[in-house]
A = this chain, B = another copy of it.
Amino acid sequence: MRLSKLVGKRVKENPAGATLRSHILLLRAGYIKQVGSGIFSLLPPAQRVSLKIQKIIREEMDNLGGQEVLFPVVMPKELWQMSGRYDSIKEEMVRFKDRNNHDMLLGMTHEEAAVHMLLNNISSPEDLPCMIYQIQTKFRDEARPRGGLIRVREFTMKDAYSFHNTQEDLDSFYKKMYDAYIRIYKRLGFKNFVVVEGDNGIMGGKVSHEYMAVTDAGEDYLVICPKCHYSSNMEVAVCQKDENDHNMAGEAEEVFTGNAHTIEEVCAFLQTDAKHTAKAVCYQSDNDQKLIVAFLRGDHEINESKLKKLVKSEISFVDTDKYGLVAGNIGMLNLNVPEGTYIFYDKSLEGLENLITGANKPERHINHVSMTRDVKNAEFVDISLVKEGEKCAHCGETLTLTRGIEIGNIFQLGTKYTSSMGLKVNAPDGTQKDVIMGCYGIGIGRNLASIIEEKADDKGLVWPITIAPWQVHLCPLRIDDESVNAISEEVYRNLTKAGIEVLFDDRNVSAGVKLTDSELMGVPIRVVISPKTLANLEAEITMRATGDKMFVPIKDLENEIKLAIAEETNLIMENL
């Protein structure tokens, strides 16, 4: 490809509104262009990277016996009513009426379509297991698209669906897919990623894992044990509860706390530590509109994901006044709430004594509360976020908190979709049983952006050789010099003929512009040819990632480049 004809210009200035490194660089290097909120066009270099990512994913899926299919982007309401998700998914799903007034939707995911494909196509246990996958456009009407390709509304995704006779067979295939995903990320060039236990969200099912690129640009919080390698999304992370006061210390008694409402204020007022307090957090359950009162130890924060699972519903903030509650003074004793209110106690409170909690009246708290004596029939559940410094539930090591971008996920779905849609096989005993299902997703664009977050430097993009848009950036300086021009053209022809992907900067612009552009665009191997290098019949090779340079005779250039490509590839492949 000649750079002079490449569609997409490079720009120096940081684009307005872009804060993430990948977003800034993709715009500056001419890789993407925004068309709408969370909607982008991919320019030729980005599409080249995307196709290479797709190829790697295809190979790994095919290697597991995957069969590539294509599901529609637009589906009729009826298909999604079969699983119940037409109603359970809210604004994130785009719905419209077609010209015949039929309700249609844009696919966010394709469990229903996958089961539909298999209906009437499998009947006997011998038809299983099987795995189908597609690479297709999806649209999710995200409330807050952000960060360029990190969180978009429209994206290309590989989604795979596997079908099994038994849970054991799913377990065994799931493990293979788990490993294939790790190979995929390694082949894409990721060094810094972890697998965490996932939150199943809208997918249903029980076991799931999320693959997380570890980066400060991430919006997910991760909990990782450096010793036993327990790792989890914060949403579902668990830890040991640290030790606390279990000594009873006299009768519960009301104390004056004035205008102290927050835990900090109460602690300051009463000269105590947040560990010795219990706080209340209130919500409303969206499904049944009931009040939720959750009590935690004062130094803990509520984990809304866990709370949602407990009440099996989305939750909203609630006006506590409406229920006659005294915000800032809500407590476990003398709590007057409507029948049916969900009341939860976090495990951090279990067995604790000598606590301070709200008195459910203005300017008062209650001291010396005993969870064993004063709070009867409490149900202790895990509803708090893991904190820095807490201990691993499995090995006791201090947990590490970090941030990550979800670059893939795998789910054991069980029979949620197959039972509601009637996908069954004949059991040996003559009855029919629901097929057991797994699903496995990777967003192409988000992986493209996440690898940038991991690799890019201050000068620009840095592509791993396996997914680079081109392998070589051929950069003649002083192309107005006749021999530079002639030799560069010949090198371009020969490398291209040898099957090497070359971006050829054939522009007659300054060395500064050319070298800056090459660093911005991130092609792994740069070859500079100039009057100076030609004086020794040489070219200069620079590796983008390391900055390593060497001079090689022009006659050996093709070989040296092949060696460099092989070496870069080996560095990635030897870890598989």
| The one of B30, B39, B106 that contacts A75, using a Cβ cutoff of 8 Å | B39
Identify the closest chain B residue to A99 (Cβ).
Answer: B91
Residues of B within 8 A of A9 (CB): 120-121
Identify the closest chain B residue to A143 (Cβ).
Answer: B99
Binary CB contact string for chain A from 100 to 144 against chain B (1 if under 8 A, 0 otherwise): 101010100000010011101110001100101010110101010
- Whether A35 pairs with B121 at a CB distance below 8 angstroms is no
- Whether A35 pairs with B137 at a CB distance below 8 angstroms is no
Most B CB atoms within 10 A — which of A96, A153, A156? Answer: A96
- Whether B4 pairs with A126 at a CB distance below 8 angstroms is yes
- Whether A74 pairs with B106 at a CB distance below 8 angstroms is yes
Residues of B within 8 A of A127 (CB): 4-5
Identify the closest chain B residue to A91 (Cβ).
Answer: B99
- Whether A41 pairs with B72 at a CB distance below 8 angstroms is yes
Interface residue? A42 (CB, 8 A):
yes
Residues of B within 8 A of A98 (CB): 94, 141, 153
Identify the closest chain B residue to A71 (Cβ).
Answer: B41
Cα A117 to Cα B32 in complex, Å, equals 9
- Whether A70 pairs with B91 at a CB distance below 8 angstroms is no
Range class of the A interface residue count: 35 or more
Cα A70 to Cα B156 in complex, Å, equals 10
Residues of B within 8 A of A65 (CB): 5
Main SS of the interface on chain A?
mixed
Interface residue? A6 (CB, 8 A):
yes
| The one of B72, B94, B130, B134 that contacts A36, using a Cβ cutoff of 8 Å | B72
Residues of B within 8 A of A91 (CB): 99
Identify the closest chain B residue to A153 (Cβ).
Answer: B74
Cα A192 to Cα B169 in complex, Å, equals 50
Interface residue? A363 (CB, 8 A):
no
Binary CB contact string for chain A from 495 to 532 against chain B (1 if under 8 A, 0 otherwise): 00000000000000000000000000000000000000
- Whether A72 pairs with B40 at a CB distance below 8 angstroms is yes
- Whether A47 pairs with B73 at a CB distance below 8 angstroms is no
Cα A94 to Cα B104 in complex, Å, equals 10
Interface residue? A375 (CB, 8 A):
no
Residues of B within 8 A of A94 (CB): 74, 96, 98, 104
Cα A113 to Cα B33 in complex, Å, equals 10
Most B CB atoms within 10 A — which of A35, A76, A96, A130? Answer: A35
What are 6 A-B contacts with C-beta separation under 8 Å? A7-B118, A36-B74, A37-B100, A39-B74, A50-B70, A73-B73
Closest 3 CB pairs of A and B: A96-B96, A36-B76, A44-B67
